[in-house]
Structure 1
């Protein structure tokens, strides 16, 4: 059927020898010269070379981070707490979480752990937590290297899921961030600072061990908590 369609199109784009001379078109440059781009587009436009799903796959690339991650964010609302009272996630925390999932996939890990959450905070890069880490020479490269030392390299033939599930330690870190907001009676958003402090709170987790190895300690955690809990503080 495709061959029949092409044969029907050929007469509509063929020229006589005089037409070619008049238009300064040679048979070898019929579809290559700039003056014949219209014909080239007309001919190619009559055929379908891309799969039907290509349009959908391209559109997904332009969805905002919040659209792709919102459904995968942990729902850590304790029992008895109304939805409207549960703390919201700041856009920096959402992006940090999204980058953590992406980093886990890059490293070919089957799950998103505390080490990936730590890398997500550093990849987002604009939060108070990320700035404090960098000031203490805790960089993405160093955290990635320590993660590989601690957990090993992922299998190069393994394909991580789009949203690698949280490890138990990572879930505890996020639960801690939510619980701290609720216990403090604050109505503000959960920020990357809360995520970092949550990681630090889960001792013996990979993220905690990496922070210790790179020089993070309780004093720095207290400093971060003090700065982020100052009245009126908000990462705009």
Structure 2
């Protein structure tokens, strides 16, 4: 067996071993490579570890990309002629447009590939300040109840699936939007297409998930007629 002898460095000044920055960073190096670590429990603190590159932290940092709703100025239509003669088409109210944007956002949160009539109901409730949402809440139909019923009816999406930025409308949802516009045109009123028109459009699609969910919570033809009488009044404003 070979024996190993630990030798003590010579005390000669020229041979004294001195640490280098390669192993022991200097104080200036520590200052250069200090990192601020934030925690919701611990607040902000500065780490004085020598990290030669911020790339060392990347494997440990999870980047969360927030879901955003894109601003739109009109709702999609299945009738190209309406786009060509835009001056004859009633405009959607700002609250209806916002409700639609929230519908797309909710569909993406649930990781659904499309925006259906059930999502349109959630969008109306999330906007919250429109007449239709107030009517629904007054009848015990809330966002949490609707969302829970949607999951029961349609199930949960694959956790690894990511919805597109603008989940396309289902056929039922597109018909609901077109029904709302047509109903406004029939009235002859020069006002805007509101969220109440949109809600009634959802109810008009009897085989759609949105119609079924509304029916579960007691929404019926009587309540639909009540809403229809309200929006048919001259000067109705969606507030």
| Aligned twin of 1:88 | 91
Deviation at 1:93, TM superposition (A): 0.3
Q: Deviations over 1:148-179 (max 9, x none)?
A: 11111111110000000000000010010011
Q: Is the 8 A contact 1:146 1:210 kept in 2?
A: yes
After superposition, the Cα gap between the structure-2 partners of 1:160 and 1:30, relative to the gap in structure 1 and judged at 3 Å, is closer
Deviation at 1:229, TM superposition (A): 1.8
| Aligned twin of 1:150 | 153
Q: Deviations over 1:178-208 (max 9, x none)?
A: 1111122122111100000000000010000
| Aligned twin of 1:55 | none
Q: Is the 8 A contact 2:195 2:238 kept in 1?
A: no
Q: Is the 8 A contact 1:90 1:191 kept in 2?
A: yes
1:212 counterpart (187, 211, 215): 215
| Aligned twin of 2:76 | 74
SS of the residue corresponding to residue 73 of structure 2 reads helix
Unmatched 5+ stretches in structure 1 = 1-25, 33-48, 50-57
The TM-score with structure 1 as length reference comes to 0.70
SS of the residue corresponding to residue 69 of structure 1 reads coil
RMSD over aligned CA atoms reads 2.6
Deviating beyond 4 angstroms after TM superposition, the runs of 4 or more aligned structure 1 residues are: 26-32
The TM-score with structure 2 as length reference comes to 0.69
Q: Is the 8 A contact 1:77 1:86 kept in 2?
A: no
After superposition, the Cα gap between the structure-2 partners of 1:97 and 1:109, relative to the gap in structure 1 and judged at 3 Å, is same
Deviation at 1:113, TM superposition (A): 0.2
2:100 counterpart (97, 102, 105): 97
Q: Report the number of matched residues.
A: 183
Unmatched 5+ stretches in structure 2 = 1-26, 35-54, 56-64
2:201 counterpart (198, 201, 209): 198
Report which of the two has the higher share of helix.
1
| Aligned twin of 1:38 | none
- Separation in 2 of the partners of 1:78 and 1:187? 21
| Aligned twin of 1:139 | 142
Report which of the two has the higher share of strand.
2
